[in-house]
Amino acid sequence: MCDKQGNSRNDANIHPHERDLGPLGWDATWAEAFDHCARQARDARVQPGRVIAVRRGLCDLATAGGTCLASFSGRLSHQTVSGADLPVTGDWVAWRGQPGAGELQIESVLPRRTCLIRKAPGAVDGQPLVANVDWVWLVSSMNRDWNPARLERYLTLVWESGARPVVVLTKADLHPDPDEIVEQAEAVAFGTPIHPVSVMTGEGLDALAAYLQPGKTVALLGSSGVGKSTLTNHLLDADRQATLAVRASDQRGRHTTTSRELFRLPNGAMVIDTPGLRELALWQGDEALEQVFADVEDLARRCRFRDCRHESEPGCAVLDAVAGGELAQRRLDSYRKVKKELLRHEELQTLQGRMARKQREKALGKLIRDFSNR
């Protein structure tokens, strides 16, 4: 057997799980992370696997012996600080148990390379969506769903995750001037690949093959009804994901995907289809903000004052650019909104951390008093 450089590899140097899990993206780095987890657990019985889907607290887990049902061990549930630390689709995990003899038990989650995290609806904590993906296709249809401001939010989410975004504009056959939408996308997605496609006509689909490499994982993200499941079915060359017809009233498909699920394509690449997001509240994104709004950030460096808020300050290069037509007012409004949201959430996280610390100190003080009164 030879490695990527063509050098001969001794079978003794091959990790025992490489042959079986390699098609799922397993490599030497994952093997090292798993060995570390196994040593920490002090349990030679644990085995690696990849989460294919999570449904009501149970996981479809791909293992060297096939796909099995797995649940979270009591140890994992007890030790996790928040729900964000529990397995999600795409995670690599350490499990133990006997396949075919009941549910497997997931003992730990291997450190994630990438992770898409939004703010959990109605909460301060982050909610992981998928993990360990290489590319994220931001899917938007070329009809009434198209919204540049929403694309900016999706881009912020993906850049912060560590994965690489790709904009996929579906239903190009339904728009009289697809180039118009592409130009609008280019104005907000600097340096991000943009592909107008149509599953109905086949337009643009060949260009997507460049991202679908064996062992690599692509996640599809977007609103309900934009054609994610239709695109997944095309890639699988099978109707694995249920779809419904487009509504004539608004040219939108109807939401059918109910869970995030990983599929293996015939060529060895992997695709994660996801339900449409009704709400995308950002959890983190300070670094991603500079990537997504590079035009605004570049202008901001020319402002007279370093702490310029780009509202009414003298010498504001951003406001001058808007007045001169160099920067769209909509773009500045979107930048302000995203930055304000991130700042507000950071303040809430800080407040929550202080409250949690205060509660711990209070509990510790009570414990000390109780011990002293014995």
The answer, yes or no, to whether residue 5 has pLDDT greater than 50, is no
Q: Is 316 one of the annotated binding-site residues?
A: yes
pLDDT score recorded for residue 241: 56
The answer, yes or no, to whether residue 251 has pLDDT greater than 50, is no
Tell me the β-bridge partners of 117: 128
Amino acid making up residue 213: Q
Q: Is 226 one of the annotated binding-site residues?
A: yes
Largest distance between two CA atoms of the chain: 81
Three-state DSSP state, 147: coil
pLDDT score recorded for residue 220: 96
Q: Is 170 one of the annotated binding-site residues?
A: yes
The span from the CA of 200 to the CA of 173, in Å, is 8
Q: Is 172 one of the annotated binding-site residues?
A: yes
pLDDT score recorded for residue 127: 86
| 115-273 under CATH 3.30.70.580, yes or no | no
CB atoms within 10 A of CB 209: 11
Of 148, 120, 81, the closest CA to residue 345 belongs to 120
Q: Is 229 one of the annotated binding-site residues?
A: yes
pLDDT score recorded for residue 83: 75
The answer, yes or no, to whether residue 165 has pLDDT greater than 60, is yes
The answer, yes or no, to whether residue 212 has pLDDT greater than 70, is yes
Mean pLDDT computed over every residue of the chain: 83
Q: Is 89 one of the annotated binding-site residues?
A: no
Phi and psi at residue 34, to the nearest 5°? -65, -45
Confidence of residue 8 (pLDDT cuts 50, 70, 90): very low
What is the average pLDDT across 323-336? 93
Q: Is 224 one of the annotated binding-site residues?
A: yes
Q: Which residue would you say has higher pLDDT here, 99 or 78?
A: 78
Q: Is 15 one of the annotated binding-site residues?
A: no
Torsion (CA) 212, 214, 215, 217 in degrees, nearest 10? 10
For the stretch 353-362, contacts whose Cβ atoms lie closer than 8 Å and that sit 24 or more positions apart, written own/partner, are none
The yes-or-no answer to whether 115-273 and 293-359 have a common fold is no
The answer, yes or no, to whether residue 261 has pLDDT greater than 70, is yes
**What homologous superfamily does CATH list for 293-359?**
Probable gtpase engc; domain 3 (1.10.40.50)
For the segment 175-211, what is each residue's pLDDT rounded down to a tens digit? 889 999 999 999 999 889 999 999 999 999 999 999 9
Domain spans of the chain?
A: 11-109, 115-273, 293-359
Q: Is 256 one of the annotated binding-site residues?
A: no
Q: Is 303 one of the annotated binding-site residues?
A: yes
DSSP letter for 259, please. Answer: S
DSSP letter for 213, please. Answer: -
Pick one of 1.10.490.10, 3.40.50.2000, 2.60.120.10, 2.40.50.140 as the CATH number of 11-109: 2.40.50.140
Question: Tokens standing for 104?
Answer: 């497997």
The answer, yes or no, to whether residue 252 has pLDDT greater than 60, is no
The beta strands (E) that lie in the chain are given as: 47-55, 58-63, 66-72, 92-96, 104-109, 115-119, 126-131, 135-141, 164-170, 194-196, 217-222, 261-264, 270-273
For the segment 94-152, what is each residue's pLDDT rounded down to a tens digit? 998 877 666 799 999 999 999 999 877 666 678 899 999 999 999 999 987 788 999 99
Q: Is 228 one of the annotated binding-site residues?
A: yes
Q: How far is CA 276 from CA 190, 229, 256, in A?
A: 24, 10, 9
